[in-house]
Chains A and B, each alone.
Chain A
Amino acid sequence: MTRERWGSKLGVILAVAGSAVGLGNFLVFPTQAAKNGGGAFMIPYFVALFLLGLPLMWIEWTIGRFGGGFGHSTAPGMFHTLWNKNKFIKYFGVIGIFGPMVIFIYYIYVESWLLGYSFFALLGKYNACKTEASMTAFLQGYQGTVQNQFFTSIGPSYFFFLVTFLLNILVVYFGISKGIEKVCKYGLPVLFLFAVVLVVRVLSLGSPDPAKPENNILNGLGFLWNPDWSALRSAKVWLAAAGQIFFTLSCGIGVILTYASYLTKKDDVALSGLTAAATNEVAEVLLGGSIVIPAAFAFFGLAGVTKIAQGGAFNLGFVTMPLILQKLTFGNVFGFLWFMLLFLAGLTSSISLAQPAIAFLEDEFNFSKRKASLVFGTVTFVLTQPVIFLLARGIVDELHFWGGTFCLVLFATVETILFGWVFGMEKAWTEMHVGSDITIPRIYRFIIKYVTPAFLLFILGFWFWQEWTPVILLKKVPAENVPYIVGIRLMLVGLFVVLTFLVWHRWQNKKVRSS
């Protein structure tokens, strides 16, 4: 079977950047910065970018291209090749297929809300909601967690879910260059354009309420950027910055490995990794940091924005922003731009989450693209149903914790140690520079071998110390939700076991054939 390839270098960079630019850039980063020291947050943020984010980017691009050279697009085969056919390491690689699948099954549903809200914004469907309470009721009605005057059933939400789901499957079905690359090549520039329009509109808001001149955009930017030096003494702030860098760059998921596997041996990875990371940073710090927090400050003042920042990203995106944008002239259009921008960010991320499982079926089981997409679509469609119908039971938080937090850090730690220590820094450094358009500063030999793994082990250790017992024992879960969360955990264990069995089965077959 001929291996798929990217159509152009810019295409793969935009695809990786598209995978990285997601809802977190516009919703999570500004709230994290505002909560963790404002401008001072940028010090640990940049430290984490250079010691954790960029090294991980280069590691994943390099492992991906290396594995692709042996016909592997996913972590089990790549790790197996990297560690000289070690018997067990391929099972760690299962996390690189399992993690993205877990994220996909809740992310796709949240993404579908954005598509729905884009239409609601254009049609003015939530314009009657003038308070936070009524906008929250609108969201809950749409999610189907309550029946109210806005929605009497989950039907509209399910309709937009089906459209979003089919769109995602269709894109991955069309493949790397005709599907994913095309969507990212057009989607990402449109996303940037919408974001720039919103930034310009928000920065020109001035002081919307003449009776409260202190509630203005400059003070809103000050809320985000005025440094609180005392925050730098808190370990939690440093961890929050490291976590933000980690998640924003899509590292540790397995997606970059798969995308990079479609490069040829002579393709550059050093400059491409840097460009993808820099593109994500522009979206996050320049654009993401200039929309929600300054706008919320200008309309709700210091007390209001502090409460909003504590309320979390969903509230900010689906409640606060529509309330703000509908107050503007052409509010419906700005509302549409906001939700469509987030939808595009979600789409370019979710298609990347689908690709590892599809590539696994294609590479290791010789499935056709059509068959692999159909199997992936059927399995994830079934697994998404509990997310939709049991949303109020805290299912999304649970899936996000395992797929979007724990697996990421664990996977990144394993691959970093494997790359710098098992594969060996000498070979790793040479591999990183094959076909390279830039020379990575030599200090990164030291950083990749010692600093990045130490940083990751520290994050992992801190997590075990702080979170392990309460999470495992469900101490933070309300009693009425415990059976549902246990059910979801069993579902995750089942998925992991099936994927592990598939890897085992595949390698058994290989062994039989080679002997």
Chain B
Amino acid sequence: MRLDGWLFMIISWSAILALFFYSLIRTLRSKDSNKSEQ
């Protein structure tokens, strides 16, 4: 794999993981993330 290939992979993975963990942590912190609403 070339250096630019590594760069693309790392940047893409980092961007997606950052988005995923940001949204997941915010979701888990919100008050009704796991409780029943009924």
Contacts and interface: CB of A to CB of B under 8 A. Distances in A.
Nearest to B18: A278
B4 to A, nearest CB: 5
Contact of A437 (B2, B20, B27, B37): B27
A294 to B, nearest CB: 10
Interface in B1-38: 1-2, 4-9, 12-13, 15-17, 19-20, 22-24, 26-28, 30, 32-38
Contact of A285 (B5, B12, B33, B36): B12
Given A271-B23, A272-B27, A437-B27, A225 B33 contact: no
Contacts of A219: 1
Interface in A201-239: 218-219, 221-222, 225-227
Contacts of B24: 275, 278-279
B5 to A, nearest CB: 4
A325 B31 CA distance: 44
A39 B1 CA distance: 11
Contacts of B22: 278
B37 A218 contact: no
Contacts of A268: 30
A42 B12 contact: yes
Given A285-B13, A286-B17, A7 B5 contact: no
Contact of A274 (B7, B23, B33): B23
Interface of A, helix, strand, loop or mixed by DSSP: helix
B16 A285 contact: yes
Contacts of B35: 8
Interface residues of A toward B: which range? 35 or more
A32 B34 CA distance: 36
Interface in A304-318: none
B21 to A, nearest CB: 8
Contacts of B27: 9-10, 13, 271-272, 275, 437
Nearest to A437: B30
Given A226-B1, A279-B20, A42 B8 contact: yes
**A222, A275, A438 pick with most chain B CB within 10 angstroms:** A275
A39 B20 CA distance: 20
B8 A39 contact: yes
B5 A227 contact: yes
A6 interface: yes
Given A8-B35, A10-B27, A437-B27, A281 B5 contact: no
A226 B12 contact: no
Contacts of B4: 39, 226-227
Contacts of A274: 19, 23
A7 B27 CA distance: 15
Contacts of B5: 38-39, 221-222, 225-227
Interface of A: 5-10, 13, 38-40, 42, 46, 177, 218-219, 221-222, 225-227, 264, 267-268, 271-272, 274-275, 278-279, 281-282, 285-286, 437-438
9 contacts: A8-B34, A9-B33, A222-B1, A227-B5, A264-B37, A274-B23, A282-B17, A285-B12, A437-B26
